Amino acid sequence: VVYTGVGLSNAAMMTYDAIIQHSPDRIINYGSAGSLKNKSGLLNVAAVCQRDANCEPLRERGFMLGENILYYQSGNSGVRCGSGNNFVTNPDQWTLDHCDIVDMELWAIAKVCDLHKIPWTSMKWISDNAEGEAGNTWEAALAQGQAEFIKWFNSGKCMITVHRDDPTYYKADLYFNKI
């Protein structure tokens, strides 16, 4: 388990470091997200974009200069997540058109996974409605989200076995059924 911290930079650094140290076959991300379209519960993410990437007029919004990827795809069905470095309380029209939910880390995690050719799965707990009251409900929703993620993790859709070849290092094999 790796705690990335909040924000795109922290998520990118910690994901890169975890991949270098542990050579995983898959990354599983869990975190909270705000809903833009009346979503609730624990949701599987199909794709993620960087909602605050705006290089206009040099490039259309959502794309970084020199890159041609708007969405990183998980390979699973689910919602579209928009990542950015701000807590969304008043989403703009671009974000509403391109995203179902918003977070602050997944795009960076998916980008690092893409760089290393490592598949990823992301489960997001809806903690708020990405509106003016979001800051008041976010923290209170976290414990229930963690419990739901653990329930999903142990449901048979994902199983983990840990090998102790070296007592100081744990390598996990992840097995997935269709999510």
Q: What is the pLDDT of residue 165?
A: 42
Residue written as token pair 């960087």 = 50
Q: What is the pLDDT of residue 85?
A: 85
On the CB side of 139, CA atoms within 13 Å amount to 2
Q: How far is CA 115 from CA 52, 88, 124, in A?
A: 21, 28, 22
What residues does 103 pair with on adjacent strands?
83
Q: What is the pLDDT of residue 13?
A: 82
Q: What does the pLDDT look like over 34-87, one tens digit per residue?
A: 899 989 889 999 999 999 888 888 888 888 888 888 999 998 889 999 999 888
Listed residue (24, 30, 110) closest to 74, CA to CA = 110
Phi and psi at residue 164, to the nearest 5°: -115, 65
Cα(155)–Cα(149) distance, integer angstroms: 10
Q: What does the pLDDT look like over 129-170, one tens digit per residue?
A: 777 766 666 677 777 777 787 888 787 655 444 333 433 333
Cα(146)–Cα(148) distance, integer angstroms: 5
**For the whole prediction, is pTM greater than 0.75?**
yes
Q: What is the pLDDT of residue 8?
A: 81
- Token digits for 120? 């990823």
Q: What is the pLDDT of residue 110?
A: 94
Find out whether 11 and 105 touch, Cβ atoms under 8 Å: yes
Pairing relation of β-strands 101-103 and 79-83? Answer: parallel
Q: What is the pLDDT of residue 158?
A: 56
Q: What is the pLDDT of residue 74?
A: 93
Q: Which stretch of 85-94, 97-106, 148-157 has the lowest confidence by average pLDDT?
A: 148-157
